[in-house]
Amino acid sequence: MPLKVLIIGAGVCGPAFATMLRRSDPEHNITVLERHPGIRHNGLQIDLRAWGVPIMKRLGLLDIASKRCVHENGIAIVDSKGRKHAEFGVNKSHTGQQSFTSEFEIMRGDLVEVLYEASLKDPKTGVSGEAENEDAPGIRYKFSTWPTALTQDEKGVHVTLSDGTTKRYDLVIGADGQWSRTRRLIFGEEEGLKMFKRLNVYAAYYTVPREPEDDDIARFYHVGGGRGIAMRSGDRPETQVYLMARTNSEEVQRAVERQPVETQKAVFEKLYEGAGWQWERFRKGLRESTDFYADSLGQVKAPHIVKGRVALLGDAASCASPVTGMGTTVSLIGSWVLAGELARHKGDVPTALEAYDANVRPYIDEAQKLMLGVPWVMTIDSNWGVFLIRLLLSFFSFIKLDKILFAILPEDKGGIKIPEYPETNM
């Protein structure tokens, strides 16, 4: 039974789910809202792992995404003089189980564009999925628009939009990030915010002009004092800089979370005073950057990700945190399960959402597992701790422990397979 569906958020998750939903039933009427004036083409380097790789294959998008991948050959651990203490290469097995550097590293904006374009036109068949008008089957995007209120009954959801209009939908999906407005609307402001569990780590990302010595090996520098710096260039014309600081400071929290860029820049510049290595170069880049982004790292722990006919998806439902490397993948598996359950239950939205809430949980729990020592191992406090971790990583690099581990680990994270939904024809 065709549904009238509203998807809130056009990052990775929104277009991915729209694509899957459209392919499972071309008669669905799908609207995707995005508060920004267009698809955002900026963002940091992300990757595909575990279930994300075969899902992209089944969508016929893995080869397309691979052509846009960043060619990075591994990561090195360096000291303040830039000397390498350890180096871990990329896994080129073409499978989901990846090393510290994934074979499928891709800029966030590039992946969003691949999924956005696929939602509007199937790259395999060339069939357009774009709706001719508001009431026609297919997908339409509405930018610079967001929901301000949601009210629902047994048969649908009334949505009040930022432009003052009100629409009614059979199903509403919140795919609007870790600070999800949708989550706060359905569970209440305070409860929705409380579901975000902080790791007390704050991260910033921006790019700086590439220099001749910036090669295809990423580098990570333990600063000490709970701080770390990473840089990566791959085959791109600019060098990406990542700052990561662990602190219990409420002052830092207030200055970073959902604050103006200039306020965020000031707090990171203060945190990294005297950091060494290439900090003077990175400080200059921070001050001049136009693509600076910062936020608190954490995980969304929601007891349920469904309420009535509204469901949460991706970071809004189950943010795994960038330190797991599973954010993109958990968005894809969530979209896969939700689209599958809707197809299986043939228009019975409440039953489909109940099944989604239950059946996606093992994937969320597995994706949110933090590796031993994370995020502490990236944000070590003492100089003695930095010395020990470099020594340990040097030994692991020497015996090629990463290659041993990733050769024996199952492709599917935790050994959990992708569920099959023949009803979706994907």
Summarize pLDDT for 193-213 with one digit per residue, the tens: 999 999 999 999 999 999 999
For residues 138-162, average pLDDT: 96
User: Which amino acid would we find at residue 301?
Assistant: K
Lowest mean pLDDT, pick from 140-154, 186-200, 397-411? 397-411
pLDDT at 173 over 90: yes
Task: With respect to residue 231, please indicate whether it lies within any of the assigned structural domains.
Answer: no
d(CA 238, CA 24): 39
Place of tokens 């290659």: 403
pLDDT at 265 over 90: yes
For residues 106-127, average pLDDT: 87
For the CA atoms of 281, 284, 289, 293, the dihedral, rounded to the nearest 10 degrees, stands at 70
pLDDT at 409 over 70: no
The tokens of 43 are what?
């963002």
d(CA 305, CA 311): 6
For residues 283-304, average pLDDT: 96
For residues 296-323, average pLDDT: 96
Residue 76's SS3 state is: strand
Q: What is the pLDDT of residue 98?
A: 47
Task: With respect to residue 342, please indicate whether it lies within any of the assigned structural domains.
Answer: yes
Q: What is the mean pLDDT of the chain?
A: 91
State pLDDT tens for residues 358-373: 999 999 999 999 888 8
Task: With respect to residue 346, please indicate whether it lies within any of the assigned structural domains.
Answer: yes
Element (H, E) at 222: strand 218-224
Place of tokens 């609007």: 176
How many independent structural domains does the chain possess? 1
User: Which amino acid would we find at residue 138?
Assistant: G
For residues 182-202, average pLDDT: 96
Q: What is the pLDDT of residue 96?
A: 42
Beta strands (DSSP E) in 153-215 are 157-161, 166-169, 171-174, 196-209
d(CA 217, CA 75): 5
State pLDDT tens for residues 5-52: 999 999 999 999 999 999 999 999 999 999 999 988 877 888 888 889
Task: With respect to residue 399, please indicate whether it lies within any of the assigned structural domains.
Answer: no
Nearest C-alpha neighbor of 9 from the set 194, 145, 134, 107 = 145
Q: What is the pLDDT of residue 413?
A: 58
User: Which amino acid would we find at residue 236?
Assistant: R
For residues 150-167, average pLDDT: 95
Who has greater pLDDT, 323 or 98? 323
The tokens of 408 are what?
């024996």
CA distances from 315 to 62, 275, 419 (A): 22, 31, 21
- Which DSSP symbol is given to 101? B
The tokens of 199 are what?
């790791």
323 φ, ψ to 5°? -70, -15
What is the CATH classification number for the domain harbouring 350?
3.50.50.60
Q: What is the pLDDT of residue 162?
A: 96
Task: With respect to residue 383, please indicate whether it lies within any of the assigned structural domains.
Answer: no
Task: With respect to residue 242, please indicate whether it lies within any of the assigned structural domains.
Answer: no
d(CA 227, CA 351): 47
d(CA 22, CA 27): 7
For residues 384-397, average pLDDT: 93
Task: With respect to residue 424, please indicate whether it lies within any of the assigned structural domains.
Answer: no
Element (H, E) at 406: helix 401-408
Q: Which domain holds residue 315?
A: 4-69+104-194+301-370
How do 293-300 and 196-209 pair as beta strands? antiparallel
Cβ atoms 31, 7 nearer than 8 A: yes
The tokens of 98 are what?
């990846």
**Interior CA angle at 146 toward 17 and 34, to 5°?**
45
Task: With respect to residue 289, please indicate whether it lies within any of the assigned structural domains.
Answer: no
Residue 82: count of CB within 10 angstroms of its CB:
12
Place of tokens 């790789």: 53
